[in-house]
Structure 1
C-alpha cells in the first residue's frame, strides 16, 4: 500500500550546476638579444576566400540544425496524478492509502524524481515543473492558455488523448521536443517532427515480429491468424506491408487465416506443416480472444510444431491452462528490464526505503525517460535530435528513435518513434528476451 508523500499539483525543482574553470597561464618574460630580422617576403597573391559549406538541416527541420545550450534547462513533466479526485473533500487520504487508479501516474512521477536526483548528483541544473494532467482546475488547456509552458525546453508526458494532441500542437508551434512516454499510439498526429514516441505503436510491433519470424528461423511456415474485424485486418495489412518492404533474400511467403468461432481444427491444419516450425502470428489483443484461438490450435500441437507470436498486450496475460503446455509463445515489447543492473537496484532500494513498496514498471519508465532525455539536454542542448540515439546513455532498454513518414515522398518526418522492439518468450516463472538489443 502506498501513501502520498510530498506530492503537490505543481512542483518546482532547481538543481545546482557545479562548474569549474580552467585558465591558461601567460608565458613568462625572458631576457636575451632581440630576434634577428629578415627581409620581408614579397606579398603572395591573395587567395579567394572559400565560403563556408551550407549543410542541410537534419531531417529537413531547421530547428534541429541549431545549437542551443544553456546553463540551466526548463523541463515540464506531466503525469496523471488525479489529485483533485483524491483530495476532493479533504486533505486526508481516504483509508490512508492511495486509490489504485492513481498509482501508475504516481509511480511514474516518483521514478522521474529519482532520476532528477541522479542528474543533480552529476551536476545538471534543471528547472522542473510537474503537472497533474488529470487536474480539473489546472488542466492542459488552462496551462496552455496561461502560457505556463512558453519557456520550456523539453516536455515529458505520461499522457494520452486528448492531452497528447494538445501538447503536440503546442510543441510543434513553439519548436519544443515532446516525449510521449507511455501512450502506444500516435493519436492521429502527423507533421510534427518534435514529437518523440517512446512506447512504440502497434505498427512498429508487428513490423518487428515479422522481421524476427523471417530471420530467426531458417526453415519456417508463417501464418497470420486474425479475426474478421477491420482492426485486425489492419494489423495483417501492416505485417504484409513490412514483408513487401523487407530486403531479405530468404524470406518466406506469409499466408493468412481469417478465424471465426465456426473455424474448425481441420480447417486450421490445412495451413500447417509437419516438417518445419509453424510461426503463427495471432492478431488478437484481448485475452479471451487469444485463448479461444489458441485452444483450437493446441489440439494439434503434437503433430504440428508451433511457435505463436502474440501482440504486445500479451505481456500481462497468463497462459497457465494445461492445454497450452508445449506451445512456445512470444510477445513484443519496446521495454525490457531484468532488474539486475545498478540503476534498477538503486530504484528498488529507494522505493523500499521511502515508500515501503516495490517499484512497478511505471516507476522504472519514469526514471529511464527522465534520466535519458535529461542527459541528452546536458550533452547536446535543446535540439538533441540529430544525435538522439546514444548507446552510452542506455539505462535499462535500448532506444532507436527513427523518423516516421506517413506518406510517400515526404521531406519532413511526421514524428519520431522508438523502433527498437524486443521479442520476448513467455516462460512459466519468467519471460526471456530473444533478440539482441540495438
Structure 2
C-alpha cells in the first residue's frame, strides 16, 4: 500500500483530534510493536511534584540555567507544518484520496515524534503533550498572543521562518528551551541561549568540510569553485575564516576559482595537479549548477585525481548519468542513519506493521530528536542545558555546543549541533567517512 494512501487514516484522525491545538501523547497508537527499545535510564520518582533549587553558578552565565527545576509532569509543545486547514478545507475526506506531497514532511516528522512520546510514556514518563499545526489559521503569532503556549516546559518545532523567529522570541522571553528541529538556519537570531539548532547552519558545514579535507589528505591541492553571487561569496568567506582559525603546520591553502556556465574544462584544468589529490570544494547548493560543474570536472577526472566535496543539499542528488560514473563525490550532513541500531529497527518495525510502509528520514528525525530532548528533560529537569552534550545518543550523534556570534560575549547566541558527517555518495548506498 502506498504511504500516501496508508497515512490518510492517521491524518484524518489528527484533523479531528488536533483541529488547531492538540493531540495528547496519552493516546495509544494502533499497530503497536511488541515492546519499546530498552530505556537507557528509568525515570526516578520525585519527592515533591516540583523541586526548585539554586545552583552555585549558572552554566553559560544564564541565571535560569542555574536552577534545578524538576516536575512530576512535563508540558511539551510539538509544532509541525500539517496544513490541516488546507487539506480539510471543505470536508474530512482527503481530496483525490492521496495526501498532497507538501504535507508529507511535517506529517512524517509528527509520526516519528508521536512514536517517541508514546514509547517514553510506556517507560514511565509523565508527559502532557500538545501538538500544534504551525500552518493553521490560528498561527504561531495567535498562539503566542492568546498565551496558549504559556506554562510549556519544552518546545520542539519542525518550523521555518517566520515561525522560527516568533517562537524563538517567545522562548527567550519565557525562558523555555526551544528545539528547532529541521531548519538549517539561525534566522538572524543572535541572542537566545534557549534555542537549539539541530539542523546545522551552512557556516558549520563549511568549518567541518575545511577541517576534514585538511586532515584527510597528507598532500593535497585544494580548489574552491564558486559562482559570482553574494551567497556563494559568503560561503567561500566562511571556508577562508575556518582556514585562518585552524592551527596546523600541515594545512594547505585554499585556492578560489570563480566559474560560470561558459567556463571550459580546459580552464578548470589550469588549477589541477597530476601528482597529488585535487580536493575540489563546490559551493553550489542547487542541483542544476552542481551537475553543470560536475560534468566539466568529469572530463578532467580522466587526467587528474579528483576528490569532490559538495554541500548538504547534495544528499538528494542522483548521479546516475554516465559522465558521473567513477567520480568520487562527498557531501556533508548533520544527520546519518544506517538503520542498523536498535531504535531504528524499532521505528522501522512499527511503521511496517502500522502503515505498511517504510519510515522516511523525517520520521526518523522526529523520533530521534523528540526522544533525545524529552529524555534530557526528564533526567535533568527543565534547564538541562549544561548536560545537553552529555546525553547518550538515540539514533544519530548530536554535539550541541554554545555558539558565540559576538566578540567577547559571555552568553551563547544559541546552541547548535556541531556534529557533521562527511558522506560519500554511492551507487546504491551512501557511506559515512568520519566518526
Could you tell me which residue of structure 2 aligns to residue 68 of structure 1? 69
1:13 aligns with 2:24: yes
Secondary structure of 1:69's counterpart equals strand
Deviations 1:301-322 (A, max 9, x none): 1211000000000000011111
Kept in 1: contact 2:226–2:232 (CA 8 A): yes
Kept in 2: contact 1:391–1:398 (CA 8 A): no
**Matching of residues 123-272 of structure 1 within 5 Å:** 123-136=124-137, 138-272=138-272
Could you tell me which residue of structure 2 aligns to residue 106 of structure 1? 107
Kept in 1: contact 2:224–2:254 (CA 8 A): yes
Could you tell me which residue of structure 1 aligns to residue 30 of structure 2? none
Aligned length: 404
Q: CA RMSD in A?
A: 1.8
Paired with 2:72 and 2:408, the residues of 1 have a C-alpha distance of 39
Deviation at 1:56, TM superposition (A): 3.6
Q: Which runs of 5+ in 1 are unaligned?
A: 23-52
Q: Give the alignment's TM-score, normalised by structure 2.
A: 0.90
**Matching of residues 7-406 of structure 1 within 5 Å:** 7=14, 8-9=18-19, 10-13=21-24, 55-136=56-137, 138-392=138-392, 394-406=393-405
Q: Give the alignment's TM-score, normalised by structure 1.
A: 0.89
1:413 aligns with 2:412: yes
Paired with 1:296 and 1:3, the residues of 2 have a C-alpha distance of 45
Deviations 1:186-226 (A, max 9, x none): 01111001110000011111110001000111111111001
Could you tell me which residue of structure 2 aligns to residue 4 of structure 1? 9
Kept in 2: contact 1:155–1:179 (CA 8 A): yes
Deviation at 1:86, TM superposition (A): 0.8
Kept in 2: contact 1:156–1:179 (CA 8 A): yes
Paired with 1:110 and 1:54, the residues of 2 have a C-alpha distance of 37
Q: Which runs of 5+ in 2 are unaligned?
A: 28-41, 48-53
Over 6 Å off, 4+ runs = 16-22
Kept in 1: contact 2:376–2:391 (CA 8 A): no
Paired with 2:390 and 2:73, the residues of 1 have a C-alpha distance of 21
Deviation at 1:293, TM superposition (A): 0.8
Kept in 1: contact 2:332–2:422 (CA 8 A): yes
Quick check: which has more Rg, 1 or 2?
Answer: 1
